[in-house]
Amino acid sequence: MDQTAARPGRRRRPAAPTVQDVAVEAGVSPMTVSRVLSGAAHVRPELRARVEAAVAKLDYHRNENARSLRPGHRSGLVGVTITNIANPYYAELQRGLEEVAARHGRRILVGNSNEDPALERQLVADFLGRRVEGLVVVPSGGPDADHLQPAALGGVPLVLASRAVPGVDVDTVLVDDVRGAREATATLLAEGHRRVAFLGHRLSAFTGQRRLEGFRLAHAQAGVPVVDELVRVGQQDAASAQQALTALLELDDPPTAVFSANNRNTVGAIRAIAARAATGGPPVRLFGFDSFELADLSPVALSVVDHDARELGARAAGLLFERLEGTVPRAPARLVELPVVLREHLRDR
């Protein structure tokens, strides 16, 4: 009915109502309000109704920050740092994470580390300041990782997702990179290819190393030597990958097949191969790690090592909540490696 009842002490923003305000409005004590809000037992129905009416009228929302101050209370927050949310892969990961967190009644605080360890450190510090109950980090992989050490986290559990960090002994969820790369490469070798190129991102990236390892392993097991001049790492985006492969295809003795270690490199490879095919070059066989939408419509024959980013996020959250809910009190750090699936997109044109 009435307009703004001028509460003293307000500046610009009307200042959110407090239990006090609700109590006055309902003509009860703050405690009664609190009890009603906590789904209280033992409150006279009439009072309860009055309180609920007051809450609705004032658009009251319990101050969670104040609440989390009380001993024993939790913030309901999980801190998440991602290296680049614009990468659809990590977007899926976040979704898996958020879903599980929501199911456990938690909210996620998200920050982009942008592959920058300093930023990551800052994000983690900020999250700790906000008293997150746990952390999920896609590590940016700098050399200096003491901000991820359990000691620095004051007992707040951490789960690493997608990449491990050497020397940081915490729960970690990975894709089975080595196996995926090995099987993909083995497939190419079994098809008879003897000059197989490798396209990957910089080796400081954990997954880059593991996938190259799988590549080498497959060669060793097949008794085929790795052609070192065909191994190109350091392409962080599709454009440089395209450039790198284009150069390789112009060699006197070019590769007949390519294993690309990630999404970005696969996209660049497709472009390079499509361009080469347009000029009448011989076909080049491509096998890429990571899938992507429309992979099945690729203009060049393609197989992929597919895996489920959403599942990865969900599992990371799962490990975290096992810690938080005491299901796994102080078990040693666990390592989960998610399976991969080899998929063909050969287009029988």
Partner DNA sequence: CTGTTAGCGCCTTCAG
Partner DNA sequence: CTGAAGGCGCTAACAG
State the residues that interact with a second copy by CB under 8 A: 9, 11-14, 16-17, 59, 61-66, 68-69, 71-72, 75, 77, 84-88, 90-92, 94-95, 98-99, 102, 107-112, 125-126, 128-131, 151-155, 267, 270-271, 274, 278, 292-294, 297-299, 310, 326, 349
207 touches 172 (CB < 8 A): no
234 touches 201 (CB < 8 A): yes
If the CB atoms of residues 124 and 197 are measured against DNA, the closer one turns out to be 124
49 binds DNA (CB under 7 A): no
Distance CA 238, CA 299 (A): 16
Distance CA 45, CA 67 (A): 25
43 binds DNA (CB under 7 A): yes
CB of residue 152 vs DNA: minimum separation in angstroms?
A: 17
* Partner touching 18 among DNA, a second copy, none, CB below 5 to 8 Å by kind: DNA
30 binds DNA (CB under 7 A): yes
Distance CA 62, CA 38 (A): 10
* Partner touching 37 among a second copy, DNA, none, CB below 5 to 8 Å by kind: DNA
| Segment near DNA (CB under 7 A); pick from 42-50, 94-102, 254-262, 279-287 | 42-50
If the CB atoms of residues 27 and 299 are measured against DNA, the closer one turns out to be 27
What order do you get walking across the sheet with 285-289 strand by strand? 231-233, 196-200, 257-260, 285-289, 302-306, 341-345
> How far lies 204's CA from each of 200, 212, 293, 346, in Å?
11, 12, 27, 32
CB of residue 106 vs a second copy: minimum separation in angstroms?
A: 10
| Segment near DNA (CB under 7 A); pick from 63-71, 182-190, 257-265, 339-347 | 63-71
CA 278 from centre of chain = 37
* Partner touching 50 among DNA, a second copy, none, CB below 5 to 8 Å by kind: none
The encoded tokens of residue 193 equal 């290819």
Candidates 340, 336, 338; CA nearest to 172 is 336
If the CB atoms of residues 26 and 340 are measured against DNA, the closer one turns out to be 26
If the CB atoms of residues 49 and 190 are measured against DNA, the closer one turns out to be 49
CB of residue 73 vs DNA: minimum separation in angstroms?
A: 7
The encoded tokens of residue 337 equal 């490696």
11 binds DNA (CB under 7 A): no
Which residues, including other chains, have CB under 8 Å from residue 190's CB and lie 6 or more apart? 222
If the CB atoms of residues 5 and 297 are measured against a second copy, the closer one turns out to be 297
* Partner touching 143 among DNA, a second copy, none, CB below 5 to 8 Å by kind: none
Distance CA 190, CA 342 (A): 15
Return the residue of 6, 14, 29, 96 that touches DNA, per CB under 7 A: 29
275 binds DNA (CB under 7 A): no
If the CB atoms of residues 153 and 197 are measured against DNA, the closer one turns out to be 153
Distance CA 274, CA 295 (A): 14
> How far lies 74's CA from each of 68, 184, 211, in Å?
5, 46, 40
CB of residue 323 vs DNA: minimum separation in angstroms?
A: 21
* Partner touching 221 among DNA, a second copy, none, CB below 5 to 8 Å by kind: none
Distance CA 308, CA 314 (A): 10
| Segment near DNA (CB under 7 A); pick from 62-70, 92-100, 110-118, 145-153 | 62-70
Return the residue of 11, 42, 330, 349 that touches DNA, per CB under 7 A: 42
210 touches 163 (CB < 8 A): no
Please report the DSSP string for 197-256 in residue order: EEEE--TTSHHHHHHHHHHHHHHHHHT----GGGEEE---SHHHHHHHHHHHHTSSS--S
Footprint on this chain of DNA (rule: CB under 7 A)? 15-16, 18-20, 28-32, 34-35, 37-38, 41-44, 46-47, 62-63, 66-67, 69-73
